[in-house]
């Protein structure tokens, strides 16, 4: 897991130094630095693979150095430092003055093979982007030697089909009738949206098919059901397939989900974080935010096991990060403007206040 992250000179970030917990919620206004924080981790992961250009690869592509640097502070270099359970990792990017393409040159401090393995995508670091695949008639089988799930979750169902009989670690078993991945995935799917999933290999093809089943047992093709379920299933599969001490980054887990489902999904996140896995969630969902406040009130997660960070721009236009202090009764102890206050603002307007 990542215990500390320091970023300097990347896009809107001048300097941000963050302590990381098992559950990390990234909140804030648009274009305030949340995605940049995630990109810094992906840059570190990407740099482990020497086959890609320093700032542009399969995980993240942010253009030339002069585009990626913080132009407000006239940053001369971009620096990302991570402290992990297995060691530290530090990378620096500078403009390559000999390059005609505006690319960056990179310097990586000496580190261990254990750290490199942790940072390798789908080894210690897992990532699910906001641009996830939706419902389809059939899904691709995965022939990649790099990705288990795909950056868009495109191989999550293939992983599920191949590994559904896998025995999960004891701490991840919540449905005691079976300890398989399939049983636990369907437990959470039923709990969150009252449905289950069935997958089947289409023999002698590069495809598989899937259908969702209602509580009555009626099967429905994924193409004929709401997008939210197709987006949700990859989250559940990836959460339950994580190994201890690994890290999963999810952008906008709330996409296409009803508020009730978002709240219940938060319970899965708390469950995973309480069992020695790390989640980094970027969200605009007040239901996920409030779901975590409920978890604190109900003593389902310790405050010191979770960080809520609010990003916004300072007077210079640089990102600043504020830790949100939630009391034992769920009350926000340090009011921050724009922190899910729009409902109250609109209510005041309706009441003419």
Residues 160, 107 share a domain: no
Q: Is 271 within a domain?
A: no
Q: How many domains does the chain contain in total?
A: 2
Residue after which a domain boundary falls, among 227, 242, 257? 242
Q: Residue 60 and residue 248: Cα distance in Å, rounded?
A: 16
Q: Is 3 within a domain?
A: yes
Residue-level pLDDT at 50: 65
Residues 331, 233 share a domain: no
Residues 135, 89 share a domain: no
Q: Is 223 within a domain?
A: yes
Residues 238, 172 share a domain: yes
Residues 132, 82 share a domain: no
Torsion of CA 241, 243, 244, 245, to 10 degrees: -110
Residue-level pLDDT at 100: 65
Q: What angle do CA 283, 17, 85 make, to 5 degrees?
A: 85
Residue after which a domain boundary falls, among 183, 217, 242? 242
For the full predicted model, state whether its pTM sits above 0.85. Answer: yes
Residue 308 belongs to domain with CATH number: 3.40.50
Residue-level pLDDT at 99: 64
Residue-level pLDDT at 335: 87
Residue after which a domain boundary falls, among 188, 223, 242? 242
Residue-level pLDDT at 328: 83
Q: Is 28 helix (H, G, I), strand (E, B) or coil?
A: strand
Identify the CA nearest to 222 among candidates 161, 151, 159, 138: 138
Q: Is 249 within a domain?
A: no
Q: Residue 195 and residue 229: Cα distance in Å, rounded?
A: 9
Residues 319, 302 share a domain: yes
Q: Can you say whether the dihedral through the CA atoms of 259, 260, 262, 266 is positive or negative?
A: positive
Residues 289, 228 share a domain: no
Residue-level pLDDT at 141: 96
Domain of 78 in residue numbering reads as 1-116+284-353
Tokens of 325: 């202090």
Q: Is 309 within a domain?
A: yes
How many helices (H) and strands (E) would you count in the chain? 9, 15
pLDDT (tens digit, 9 = 90+) per residue, 191-218?
999 999 999 999 999 999 999 998 777 8
- pLDDT, one tens digit for every residue, the chain (353 residues): 999 999 999 999 999 999 999 999 999 999 999 999 999 999 999 998 765 667 998 899 999 999 999 999 999 999 999 999 999 999 999 987 766 666 788 899 888 999 999 999 999 999 999 999 888 889 999 998 889 999 999 999 999 999 999 999 999 999 999 999 999 999 999 999 999 999 999 999 999 999 999 877 788 887 777 788 989 999 999 999 999 999 999 999 999 999 999 999 999 999 999 999 999 999 999 999 999 999 999 999 999 999 999 999 999 999 999 999 999 889 999 988 888 878 777 877 888 87
Q: Is 53 within a domain?
A: yes
Residues 6+ apart with CB under 8 A from 18: 4, 5, 6, 37, 307, 309, 321
Residues 102, 5 share a domain: yes
End-to-end CA distance of the chain: 47
Residues 139, 236 share a domain: yes
Residues 98, 176 share a domain: no
Q: Residue 27 and residue 322: Cα distance in Å, rounded?
A: 10
Tokens of 276: 């020695």
Residues 6+ apart with CB under 8 A from 3: 19, 20, 83, 84, 85
Q: Is 255 within a domain?
A: no
Q: Is 260 within a domain?
A: no
Residues 214, 186 share a domain: yes
Residues 141, 84 share a domain: no
CB atoms within 10 A of CB 107: 12
Asked if residue 70 lies in contact with residue 12, where contact means CB atoms within 8 angstroms, the answer is yes
Q: Residue 79 and residue 43: Cα distance in Å, rounded?
A: 10
Identify the CA nearest to 280 among candidates 3, 90, 43: 3
């Amino acid at each position: 897991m990542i215990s500390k992250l320091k970023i300097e000179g990347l896009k809107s970030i001048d300097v941000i130094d963050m302590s990381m917990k098992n559950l990390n919620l990234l909140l804030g206004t648009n274009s305030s630095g949340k995605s940049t924080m995630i990109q810094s981790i992906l840059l570190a992961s990407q740099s482990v693979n020497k086959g890609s250009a320093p700032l542009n690869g399969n995980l993240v592509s942010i253009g030339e150095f002069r585009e990626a640097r913080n132009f407000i502070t006239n940053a001369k270099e971009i620096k990302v430092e991570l402290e992990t359970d297995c060691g530290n990792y530090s990378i620096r990017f500078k403009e390559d003055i000999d390059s005609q393409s505006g690319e960056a040159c990179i310097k990586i401090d000496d580190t261990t093979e254990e750290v490199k393995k942790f940072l390798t995508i789908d080894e210690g670091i897992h990532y699910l982007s906001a641009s996830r695949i939706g419902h389809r008639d059939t899904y691709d089988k995965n022939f990649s030697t790099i990705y288990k799930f795909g950056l868009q979750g495109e191989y999550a169902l293939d992983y599920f089909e191949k590994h559904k009989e896998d025995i999960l670690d004891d701490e991840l078993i919540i449905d005691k009738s079976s300890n398989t991945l399939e049983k636990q995935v369907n437990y959470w799917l039923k709990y969150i949206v009252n449905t289950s999933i069935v997958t089947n290999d289409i023999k002698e093809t590069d495809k598989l098919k899937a259908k969702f089943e209602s509580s009555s047992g009626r099967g429905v093709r994924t193409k004929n059901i709401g997008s939210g379920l197709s987006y949700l299933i990859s989250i559940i599969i990836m959460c339950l397939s994580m190994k201890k001490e690994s890290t999963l980054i999810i952008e906008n887990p709330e996409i296409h989900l009803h508020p009730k489902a978002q709240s219940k999904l938060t319970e899965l996140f708390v469950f995973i974080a309480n069992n020695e896995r790390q989640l980094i969630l970027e969200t605009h969902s007040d239901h996920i935010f409030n779901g975590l406040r409920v978890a604190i009130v109900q003593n389902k997660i310790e405050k010191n096991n979770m960080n809520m960070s609010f990003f916004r721009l300072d007077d210079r236009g640089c990102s600043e990060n504020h830790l949100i202090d939630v009391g034992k009764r769920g009350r926000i102890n340090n009011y921050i403007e724009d922190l899910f206050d729009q409902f109250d603002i609109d209510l005041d307007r309706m009441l003419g206040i």
